[in-house]
Structure 1
Amino acid sequence: MPRHSAAQEVPAASFTFDALVEDMRRLAQTSYMAPKPVEGFLADLDYDAYQRIRFRPEQARWQEKGVAFRLHAFHPGWLFKEAVKINEVRGDAVEPMGFTTADFEYDDEELAKSIPPNAEMPGVAGFRLHTPLNRADIFDELIVFQGASYFRALGKDTLYGLSARGLAVNTGLPEGEEFPRFSEVWLRRPEPGDDSATIYAALDSPSVTGAYQFVITPGEDTTVEVTMRLFLREDIKQLGIAPLTSMFLHNGADKGNFDDFRPAVHDSEVLVLNTGKDTTLCRPLNNPPRLASSYFGAQSPRSFGLAQRNREFEHYLDAQAHYERRPSLMIEPMGDWGKGTLRLVEIPSDLEGNDNIVAYWIPEGETRAGDELAYGYRMHWGMTPPGATPQTLGRVVRLRSGHGGVAGVEADTETRKFVIDFAGGQLSDMPSDAELEPVTSAQNGEIVEAILSRVDGRDEWRLVLELRAEPDAIVEIKAVLSGYDRNLTETWVYQWINA
């Protein structure tokens, strides 16, 4: 059966998100057909050639006066062998948004000679939107969609860091991961005065189809409101909703074997999960010795995400990458998501160019062929988006680890020491003799010692934990500071692999 095109089945005079949903529902009832790869000169582009191609800024779409968004496209070829069709929606009408070789600059002379002039592209590798994010007179990059269902956005004063995806399918499972892709996209043409941009996308893969709507509002914290409808072709062992992808190489907690002048290298440093009104879980990230996963069950989470909390240059000392300006990303569920599990996957890595952190929500229950799922959520991208740092609770401000025993004498190689510093919330007003108690636990390990004290001269409280575990044990550690019949801090959780 020929593959249906959503653009062909939705009448040009009546494009709506609901029509796209119906189209993807019908598509899920047909056999999957892999996209046709690009041909001709596009198929011959290698890494070096592709890096010398750029979109001409003067060819940006939507340059009319008063329009706050401009569209640039990415050239197909190299790794991006399946072109994505782009359409423009204006009112109720929809029509293809074509691109040709004249829209691109080919910086290499020999390459330029081999490119047919004004040749029509079969689609593009992706696109990005620009807007006056940081200055009224400059159209900065705002959001990029490129590769499978990957996209990433910026808030004010941030630089690109972590990414998001439309969906995760069997991530980190032995049977192998499937990467659904946005096969076709519709962009609603912005009008003068519009402060948001709307994008629709069709998702397709062997196991699932989907219809997506993104409403993007730039600002101090850029928000992306996502509405998604999923239709399962096949059983899926593990479905990941609102997946996030980031990089964590090392920091002060454990530098591993990295001989690096920089004290920390990461796009994100903690996983955050907000459940109850005053219940926040903080999980510092790891670069583990082997593939590792952590699971956090929750009922109707308020928000979750990957945060870059430390905003001081001195924490990173990288004058090129400026990791202190990488955005945090928090997911705010819309509606009741019910019971589920937040999964964190950490992959060993020795290069900062590799994304080795994945986090996503797994809904409770099986996901079977024929199922239809609906989710909505708001994404908050920025320096301090809501939920990334608790407002009323003390938070983890520092984590260090090292050999056990007393500093300055012979190391105790049988134990491991963890030093967690808490600050903020009501802790700042607590005297050094305040009746605070650390509530701690360790699964698959033993807490040998737990000592809590206030750091002299600072509004910080230091918890020192010393643990013992069997070789190769995976130890899940938890600690929260309690006092006056309530928790006063977020809950620190950590996975220690005693390798």
Structure 2
Amino acid sequence: MTYLNRRQFLYSSAALAALSAISPHQASALTNADLGEPFDFTYEALVERAREAAAKPYVAPYRPMPEVVQEIDYDAHGKLKFKTDFAPFSGSGGAYPATFFHLGQFFGKAVAMHVVVNGVARRIEYSPELFKMPQDSPAHRLPADSGFAGFRLQEWHGADDWRTQDWVAFLGASYFRAIGASGQYGLSARGAVINAAVPDMVEEFPDFTEFYIDEAEDPENPVVICALLSGPSISGAFRFSIRRGLERTKGVVMDVESQLFLREDVERLGLMPLTSMFWYGEYGRERMRDWRPEVHDSDGFAMWTANGERLWRPLNNPPYATISAFSDENPRGFGLLQRDRNFDHYQDGVMYDRRPSLWVEPLAPLGRGYVELLEIPTDDEIHDNIGLFWVPEDPALKGAEYKLHYRLHWLDNEPYPAENIAQTVGTRMGRGGEPGKPRPDNLFKFVIDFDRPSVMTQIPYGIFPEVIVSTSAGRVIRTFAEPVPNGNIWRATIDLEIMPDEIAEMRAYLELDGKPLTETWLYQFDSRNVLASG
């Protein structure tokens, strides 16, 4: 899996009658010359188009003048700015203006953009006049039908900073992302994952090829966006109901409906997928590669199982691509989180401490399957190397259909924290053994910090919880638990003896009187990775 740097409708009389609803104040600061002919639009019709497309040969998205688009590199693309005076829904009748991304070296496929008002859609026609474009930009040489690469939604048009502040963006293949409660972008979500990390197979990246933006008239109401998905092995339709609200510290919540149809057999079908970056944390860091203490968009995978267990798995930057599967039936939720919110742990002006966590909440039963965590080696922060997605238990065969309904929470923390269960707030590791004595090569120490004062401070003085630990490889030599002097943390320490060629799947939590006090800490430990980074 490679996570790198990232109409046919009949023109009806109903559409004609609704033209008056698309006023300059409501729909757009664009003129009629910038908009295509109107047509009726519904999500249900988009689903039927996706279903019909799955029975036909795949047609790749239009790529206008690829040799010219390749000249629009990162720097040149950054200078192509959509003119906010033309932003749809920036008038008195709209809440969140839409602006658009230009094609570029990494985004060379044309994507059709539409505005929708009262069930009537009109395509936004590309023009270089819609962009601030330097005189020497290669973009001047592109044809008139080039289209756009993606779009973003700006803050409420009543805010002073709406022209410079966006809060959700769809750009590249089927990737999209939103800012969290701290106002920062970070990890992304995707429409679907096709054959990620399958030996001897190349991963497919299906594209959102059409968007339909039905703007909210009130900032407290959701923005509704529909999208058509297309790839060699899949087609699909999506409906996003995205809520921002005036209280920006609440983050962004998306309700997603989708129907997916397989054109071909798929070896690994990943649904509701997330993608992030983890270079190194407070454990296993690549010494002398970088000056910062930690570099990551997410530091762990969390899961709330059907039976109510809370799982936490610190992320790895492994020496080779690794898939970890967590079996369940109708899980309550899962996500990639950024729990470490201390700036001193990053010391970086790009604000890793403010990156959002992303939680997937199924709103309809998923049945049996696996939450799969993909970790890929990386030597820099510019590469997304973490994937997380749901894989149904049944084989993904040609002709199969999938109907999904789920909610994405872009927040600082998971939306439904467990009551009376402490969370993992730190994982550290090093050589095992005692100070002043030789440190055996095959003995490693794991130190896990759990924090939730309302739970842990209730433990009577002199009483120590038990560390419940298991491992798939090696042998646990010693465990103990102790309070950290600041009074808010209990620490579990585990010494593991393991052979150099073994990989241990570890599992641990604190227990008192037969009841768990903490979530379950999971970790995949490969001593070769530690030796390579140390």
Q: What TM-score, normalized to structure 1?
A: 0.93
Structure 2 residue aligned with 1:367? 396
Structure 2 residue aligned with 1:137? 160
Match for residue 418 of structure 1 among 425, 430, 446: 446
Match for residue 322 of structure 1 among 351, 357, 361: 351
What is the rounded CA distance, in whole Å, between the counterparts of 1:277 and 1:346 in structure 2? 26
Match for residue 19 of structure 1 among 45, 48, 55: 45
Q: Which amino acid aligns with 1:373?
A: Y
Q: Is the 8 A contact 1:476 1:493 kept in 2?
A: yes
Structure 1 residue aligned with 2:238? 212
Report the CA distance between 1:401 and its aligned residue: 0.4
What is the rounded CA distance, in whole Å, between the counterparts of 1:397 and 1:233 in structure 2? 44
Q: Which sections of structure 2, spanning at least 5 residues, go unmatched?
A: 1-6, 16-39, 529-534
SS of residue in 1 equivalent to 2:46? helix
Q: Is the 8 A contact 1:397 1:422 kept in 2?
A: yes
Instruction: Output aligned runs, 1:218-367, within 5 Å.
Output: 218-219=244-245, 220-276=250-306, 278-318=308-348, 320-367=349-396
Q: Is the 8 A contact 2:220 2:244 kept in 1?
A: no
Instruction: Output aligned runs, 1:71-82, within 5 Å.
Output: 71-82=98-109
Q: Is the 8 A contact 1:9 1:23 kept in 2?
A: no
Q: Which amino acid aligns with 2:446?
A: F
Deviations 1:96-140 (A, max 9, x none): 112310111123x4238x7269x634310101011249x943222
Give the ranges of 4+ consecutive aligned residues of structure 1 lying more than 6 Å apart after TM superposition: none
What is the rounded CA distance, in whole Å, between the counterparts of 2:219 and 2:384 in structure 1? 37
Change (3 A) 1:100 1:465: same
Q: Which has the higher strand share?
A: 1
Report the CA distance between 1:183 and its aligned residue: 1.0
What is the rounded CA distance, in whole Å, between the counterparts of 1:145 and 1:232 in structure 2? 23
Instruction: Output aligned runs, 1:84-103, within 5 Å.
Output: 84-103=111-130
What is the rounded CA distance, in whole Å, between the counterparts of 1:408 and 1:260 in structure 2? 30
What is the rounded CA distance, in whole Å, between the counterparts of 1:357 and 1:468 in structure 2? 28
Report the CA distance between 1:10 and its aligned residue: 6.3
SS of residue in 1 equivalent to 2:470? strand
Match for residue 51 of structure 1 among 65, 73, 78: 78
Change (3 A) 1:66 1:312: farther
What is the rounded CA distance, in whole Å, between the counterparts of 2:149 and 2:435 in structure 1? 55
What is the rounded CA distance, in whole Å, between the counterparts of 1:131 and 1:205 in structure 2? 32
Q: Is the 8 A contact 1:56 1:105 kept in 2?
A: yes
SS of residue in 2 equivalent to 1:400? strand
Is 1:64 the counterpart of 2:91 in the alignment? yes
Report the CA distance between 1:278 and its aligned residue: 4.5
Report the CA distance between 1:406 and its aligned residue: 1.1
Q: Is the 8 A contact 2:97 2:156 kept in 1?
A: no
What is the rounded CA distance, in whole Å, between the counterparts of 1:72 and 1:404 in structure 2? 55
Match for residue 497 of structure 2 among 468, 475, 486: 468
Q: Is the 8 A contact 1:247 1:352 kept in 2?
A: yes
Report the CA distance between 1:178 and its aligned residue: 0.8
What is the rounded CA distance, in whole Å, between the counterparts of 2:105 and 2:486 in structure 1? 57
What is the rounded CA distance, in whole Å, between the counterparts of 2:492 and 2:10 in structure 1? 60
Report the CA distance between 1:412 and its aligned residue: 2.1
Is 1:406 the counterpart of 2:434 in the alignment? yes
Percent of aligned positions that are identical: 36
Report the CA distance between 1:59 and its aligned residue: 2.3
Q: Which amino acid aligns with 2:148?
A: V
Structure 1 residue aligned with 2:8? 8
SS of residue in 1 equivalent to 2:293? coil
Equivalent pairs, count: 487
Q: Which amino acid aligns with 2:239?
A: Q
Structure 2 residue aligned with 1:124? 148
- Root-mean-square deviation (Å): 2.1
Match for residue 115 of structure 1 among 140, 157, 180: 140
Report the CA distance between 1:276 and its aligned residue: 4.4
